[in-house]
Amino acid sequence: MMQDKIIFLVDMQSFYASVEKVRDATLQDKPVIVAGDPERRSGIVLAACPLAKKYGITTAETLGSAKLKCPHVEVVRPRMQLYIDVSIQISKIMEQFTDLVEPFSIDEQFMDVTHSQKLFGNQYEIARKVQEKIMEDTGVYARVGIGPNKILAKMACDNFSKKNKEGIFRLDHSNIDQLWKMPIGNMFGVGNKMERHLKGMGIYTIGGLARFPVDQLKKRWGINGEVLWQTANGIDHSPVTVKTHNQQKAIGHHMTLPRDYTNMDEIKIVLLELCTEVARRCRKKGYMGVTVSCGVRGASFDFPTGFHRQTTLPVASNYDLDIFNAAFQLLKQFWDKQPIRSLGVSLSNLQPSNIYQIDLFDNYLQKEKLNSVFDFVWGKYGRTALYRASSLTKAGQASERAVKIGGHYK
């Protein structure tokens, strides 16, 4: 008889804020939030410690709103490189218990400890040891969801481990009825928009979705309908694997602008910078791509505008002007001329860059030489050593982005 798998989803409580409290002991007993810079349109709460959450502060609300709820809250600017370093340290801690560790996000990681019990004890003992080791080495408190598969481990953590004293909970098909009682919005994979759709169909609980005819869900949403139904029923056959991030499906770059952009000439400058960064990252990872996507979001939250469209290149490329020309055509065709708050570009349908089709009507070798020069200079002297003159204008954002990770200062 095949042994049931034992999968953990290990989640770091208020990760960014927890790291900041470890870094600065004077913050230990104070409500702390990590938030971006309001002057540059990035004043959003990225993390709130449990003390701050008691005042009603939530992740993703504006810094101004958080301060209204708790005027004495301590605001810390994000240090993304520090958080990445601690996340890597936590991965290495987990690898002391199993070689099957799969990052899910910067503060969540899956572990398959099925075959670790002879060395470290039963699943609950392993979970406690993982918690203790992470706390001892990093000062960060971890919650552990346990299940026979990844989806149940994830929902165990989100809905139960985060709310009990031990920070550990196992969810499987023997107690899934506890999950089924919960509102449909609590289910992994159901956002606000999907929640409204499901409630419109009379589905208000996770159990209601689990019992709903799967054929009707598939008829409305295709394969995604079946995925929703399987999630509600705790069905997931995907293994914990260390190879999840080895093959990327797309490489993209997105930024929130420091002010509303209304002029096509200014938008073009940022678009070219984004395309240059996408091309650089593609080359660094050894990829070329054929599908260019471009998306913008309007400045108004109350009356959202924007678009997200894609087009196909004649041949695969990782040259920035090829990507830019395609993205610019999309921008010209679909932009409604309303002020833009954010802009993004991505390249997908990736293939290895060492195998490519040469276009007889395109000087590929010249592009390759230019790419090599750019990459050599950037690799040796940094991203600000070489960029186009247009980036020196007031619209340019290249020098500002070069000192950030994920849109926030390192």
Q: Which residues are annotated as a binding site?
A: 11, 107
Binding site residue list for Mg(2+)? 11, 107
The closest alpha carbon to 172, from 148, 145, 205, belongs to 148
Provide the token pair at 204. 């208000």
Placement of tokens 């394969």 in the chain? 223
Burial 374-392 (b: 16+ CB within 10 A, else e): beeebeeeebeeebeebbe
The DSSP bridge partners found for residue 317 are 289
β-pairing, 74-76 vs 45-48, is unpaired
Catalytic residue among 74, 102, 108, 277: 108
The closest alpha carbon to 102, from 228, 240, 4, belongs to 240
Q: CA-to-CA distance for 78 and 62, rounded, in angstroms?
A: 15
Placement of tokens 């395609």 in the chain? 326
Write the CB contacts of 309 (distance below 8 Å, at least 6 apart in sequence).
293, 294, 295, 330, 333, 334
What are the start-end ranges of the H helices in 206-263?
A: 206-211, 214-221, 223-232
| 108: annotated active-site residue | yes
Q: CA-to-CA distance for 363 and 358, rounded, in angstroms?
A: 9
Provide the token pair at 200. 């419109």
Q: CA-to-CA distance for 325 and 331, rounded, in angstroms?
A: 10
Q: CA-to-CA distance for 302 and 250, rounded, in angstroms?
A: 30
Q: How many CB atoms lie within 10 A of CB 223?
A: 8
**How many residues belong to the chain?**
410
Contact of 338 with 298, CB cutoff 8 Å? yes
Angstrom distances, CA of residue 330 to CA of 60, 292, 307: 30, 9, 9
Provide the token pair at 259. 């002010």
Active site residues: 108
